[in-house]
Amino acid sequence: MARWGLTLVGLAGLALGGAMTASACVTQPSGLLGGGGSGAGGSGAGGTSTGSGGAAPFQGKQLFDMLEPTFYTSCGPGCHEAGGIADAPFLSGPDRYQSVTSWPNFIVKDPTQSKLVTYPVSGPQHPYKKLDQPPLDTTLFPQIKAWLAAEAAAIVTAGAPDAGGPFVQPFAPIMGFNAVYLTPLGPGLTGMALTFNADLITAGALELTDIEVHPTATNGLHVVHPLFAVNPVGLPADPDPVDSFSNVDQYFAAGASGVLGPGTLILTNWQTNAKLSLAFQTLELVSAATADAGAEGGPAGGGCKDVASFTTNAQPELQNNCFTCHGGANAQAMGAVDMSKLTSDPAAACAQVRNRVSPATPAQSQIFVTTDPGGNAAHPYKFGGSSSKFDAFKTSMTQWIQAEQ
């Protein structure tokens, strides 16, 4: 079942993997976003910071511009750029500041917990350059820490919903594909995600399209009144002016992804370098009997049209490239796309993978967008930067995807 009103928008994302591994005016909604509280972690970017001592100029962008040449030279070429072997292209151009600040778990409220501080340092987790060792420990690393501190100081942490519902903390959207994982919001939500594509229409308008909810193979999801908000740097959340999702009350069956409301939203209160946050009046697990799904919650019953083509064309590629994480080694990955039955029950695995492909437009399938070595989507595996391996994967998978039309 589903109900919705006027218009629509819809990240916390994946942690690093691999090498770094038109409507009438309405009253501003006030029931879901408050001050103080906790929720899923996010990221932030530049603007103006304020505090008890009055307005203070934001230094994050300036500090990043100063360190960018050394940062890119040390970590970018052949590694953390598009097509790099690190599978984490957070230094992709042309706007590296936007790329870095939107990468999951980089810009956080506690700068000492940034992945840029905890991952590329001494230890086996990052086998390449280590920021806490010479010569970077006295050059680039202090600059990165100062920049992260400035970014963190500009994050105003919006509070949990007044009604006690789950809340995703501010994060900087990627201009392109985004995945908001709901794992931190409660037990049973591991692997569940809300995905969308973000596009900056003007400096004051952000459009989110293809907004979808992805339950897991074992649990469905009930979503009531999601409220999106713009978080200008250094300022509290500014909710969607028309509260576009106020009438949403939607069920998504286990194993069946679906469009949230009408699937599109334009936030006309966007500001340069702002962040997004998201609150829910209700976000709860539901049983298979309760979640009827239907046309608006995903294809009832899920399933694939051509399991034979899946077994012939898709299964070998998934086995070689995706199964390690999505087969059970990574709980969030398996929750997002459960491939645990890839060999024992291909029909079940096919139904799961089908939720992340677009038979009408195969090239736009999430399974390609997220893993493309030349793209900027945050995903911990991008074929080690090999375009030839990705092309082979895409060619074989497309044969099955076309069979699902």
Within this chain, do residues 229 and 176 fall inside the same structural domain, yes or no?
Answer: yes
pLDDT given for residue 158 in this prediction: 53
Does residue 6 sit within a domain? no
Residues 280, 170 within the same domain: yes
Residue the block writes with tokens 């074989």: 396
136 in a structural domain:
yes
**Domain check: are 147 and 170 in the same one?**
no
Task: Identify the pLDDT of residue 169.
Answer: 85
Total domains, the chain:
3
Place of tokens 């199964």: 323
What pLDDT is stored for residue 164 in this prediction? 52
Q: State the residue range of the domain holding 359.
A: 307-403
Is 91 inside any structural domain? Answer: yes
Residues 196 and 263 both lie in one domain:
yes
249 and 332 co-located in one domain:
no
63/102 same-domain check: yes
Q: Is the pLDDT of residue 46 over 50?
A: no
Confidence grade of residue 23 (pLDDT, cut at 50, 70, 90): very low
When pLDDT is averaged across residues 63-87 and rounded to a whole number, the result is 96
Residues 167 and 257 reside in one and the same domain: yes
Predicted confidence (pLDDT) at residue 48 exceeds the cutoff of 50? no
Mean pLDDT of all residues belonging to the chain: 84
273 and 160 part of one domain: yes
Q: Is 101 or 289 the better-scoring residue by pLDDT? A: 101
Straight-line distance from the first to the last Cα atom of the chain, in angstroms, rounded to the nearest whole number: 25
Taking only the tens place, the pLDDT of each residue in 160-199 is: 444 457 889 889 999 999 999 999 999 899 999 999 999 9
263 and 209 co-located in one domain:
yes
**291 within domain boundaries:** yes
Cβ atoms within 10 Å of 52's Cβ, excluding its own: 4
Q: How does pLDDT run across 365-396, given as a tens digit for each residue? A: 999 999 999 998 999 999 999 999 999 999 99
pTM of the model: 0.80
Query: Are 228 and 288 found together in one domain?
Result: yes
- From 268, 296, 324, the end of a domain falls on 296
264 and 337 inside one domain? no
Q: CA angle 196-201-205, nearest 5°?
A: 85
Residue at 325 is within a domain: yes
12 neighbors 40 (Cβ within 8 angstroms): yes
* pLDDT band (50, 70, 90) for residue 56: low
Last residue of a domain, one of 118, 153, 188: 153
Looking at the structure, do residues 114 and 246 belong to the same domain, yes or no?
Answer: no
> Percentage of residues in the chain with pLDDT exceeding 70?
80
Identify the weakest region by mean pLDDT among 128-142, 275-289, 309-323.
Answer: 275-289
pLDDT at res. 303: 87
Residue 129 has pLDDT above 50, yes or no: yes
Residue 311 predicted with pLDDT over 90: yes
Residue range 82-104, pLDDT digits in tens: 999 999 999 998 999 999 999 99
- Structural domain includes residue 329: yes
